[in-house]
Amino acid sequence: MRGKFDCFNMRQRLSPDYYITGILAHDRLVLSQAITLVESQLAADYPLAQAVLDGVLAHTGNSMRIGITGVPGVGKSTFIEVFGQHLTAQGHQLAVLALDPTSQRSGGSLLGDKTRMENLSMNPSAYIRPSPVGNALGGIGHRTRETMLLCEAAGFDIILIETVGVGQSETVVYELVDFFLLLMLAGAGDELQGMKRGIMELADALAITKADGDNGPAANRAQFEYQNALHLFPPTGTGWQPPVLTCSALTNAGMADVWQLIQEHQKLTTQNGHRAQRRQSQQVNWFRELLRQRLDGQFFGQPGIRNRMNDLENRVRQGEILPGKAVGELLG
């Protein structure tokens, strides 16, 4: 499918109206094409992508944005498969964006995610789309925020953003969402789960997965331990104390509780203004990130700059020149 859109994109650039009208009419095909457009790394696509985003802007921002993270194997996709059905059964339109830091291209993981979330991918109220992380160091960042806005304009009222909790992508997701859920395994040490304290501090709630069968007692113990651990963290300053739940995608246990909890969090933070504040600071960070990317792109796009930089790096490595002076020479 991805290949088809690539060809489509190369063949012709359509008018902003084509995309805007299609998205606002909730046309899935046009939505997918628009996402491919905003993900495009061709400079020539940039103005059109911006025009489309501009055109739908007034119809964005109305969804509940939820981030889900956890180490590989914790049960993220199984959780989303079951939790997603729970949400659509209540009449919600759900978009699932999978932020995949392991793939530079979305082609590979698209198939993977669709197979992983088999029922949800066939659910007419759900839309699943991988969001490639790209090579941030090369100045090309992910476009998950833009994708999320397009999905909102296309009528999705809940956006789930999934990421693997092993690198920096969870901080990226935290910057996009209203509620951040950390899935944890019982019985696996924190080190084993690759959990840095920092990730736990970002979480609005923890859910211990696979709380079924023989694993039930261990899940309850883990719930108790993590709840105690979270009490030692400084207050979030939002009036919300992150709770720890247990759940099972196998038996559906805890799914309704997780949803109830998210709604309570949204109600509280909407009333006390923290949800709006969080979104505002995310907007500003988005601006800064894009600015940094563009400046990076412009700077490193200059002819000969990479060679000059490599040259200076060698001299810095050999101790022939101090870093500060090298930076001066490069910018000069």
Q: Where along the sequence are the contacts to ligand GDP (CB under 6 A)?
A: 70, 72-78, 209-210, 212, 248-250
Minimal distance, residue 257 CB to ligand GDP, in Å: 14
Nearer Cβ to ligand GDP (64/74): 74
**Nearest alpha-carbon partner for 205 in 268, 285, 131, 148:** 268
Nearer Cβ to ligand GDP (33/144): 144
Minimal distance, residue 116 CB to ligand GDP, in Å: 6
| CB-based burial, 215-240: b 16+ in 10 Å, e otherwise | bbebbeebbeebeeebeeeeeeebeb
Distance from the Cα of residue 26 to its chain's centroid: 22
- The SS3 of residue 205 is strand
Nearer Cβ to ligand GDP (140/250): 250
> Rounded to the nearest 10 degrees, how much is the dihedral formed by the CA atoms of 201, 207, 211, 217?
40
Instruction: Give CA angle at 32 (85, 117), nearest 5°.
Output: 30
Minimal distance, residue 115 CB to ligand GDP, in Å: 10
CA distances (Å), origin 140, targets 43, 147, 167, 173, 242: 11, 15, 17, 17, 34
What single letter denotes the amino acid at residue 106? Answer: S
Phi–psi pair at 94, nearest 5 degrees: -115, 130
Nearer Cβ to ligand GDP (79/174): 79
Minimal distance, residue 277 CB to ligand GDP, in Å: 31
Nearer Cβ to ligand GDP (160/312): 160
- Give dist(CA 262, CA 37) in Å, integer: 32
Nearer Cβ to ligand GDP (157/212): 212
Nearer Cβ to ligand GDP (31/66): 66
Minimal distance, residue 294 CB to ligand GDP, in Å: 34
Nearer Cβ to ligand GDP (210/265): 210
Minimal distance, residue 56 CB to ligand GDP, in Å: 30
138 with 167: CB under 8 angstroms? no
Nearer Cβ to ligand GDP (48/82): 82
- Give dist(CA 269, CA 276) in Å, integer: 8
Minimal distance, residue 212 CB to ligand GDP, in Å: 5
* Bridge-based pairing state of the strands 205-208 and 244-246: parallel
Q: Tokens for 98, please give them.
A: 């999978």
Q: Tokens for 41, please give them.
A: 């790394």
Minimal distance, residue 2 CB to ligand GDP, in Å: 21
100 with 167: CB under 8 angstroms? no
